[in-house]
Amino acid sequence: MDPINAIYKGTIKGKLLGFKNSYAIFEFAAGQKWRQNENKYLHQYLYNPEAQIIFKDDKYYLEVKGISETVEVRRIK
């Protein structure tokens, strides 16, 4: 995970099943919620993983520790 571009770091609350579709919501333990903003599918089971939001090329991306890919997201809370 690249701390230089990170705008928010924390722990995703509960279980994460990977990336699903544009309806997937990722809730951080501190209360922020982000919705997946692209159709990308990746199955991965993690529990309370460390994660961060990065800003790159005018878009926000979710990086999760233990997953090599990122997914575009938008903040909903």
pTM over 0.85: yes
Number of Cβ within a 10 Å radius of residue 17 = 11
Query: Whats the size of the chain, residue-wise?
Result: 77
User: Residue 4, by phi and psi: left (phi above 0), alpha (psi -120 to 50) or beta?
Assistant: alpha
Q: pLDDT at residue 3 above 70?
A: no
Q: What is the pLDDT of residue 1?
A: 63
- 23-72 pLDDT tens trace: 899 999 999 999 999 999 999 999 999 999 999 999 999 999 999 999 99
Q: Which letter does DSSP use for residue 69 in this model?
A: -
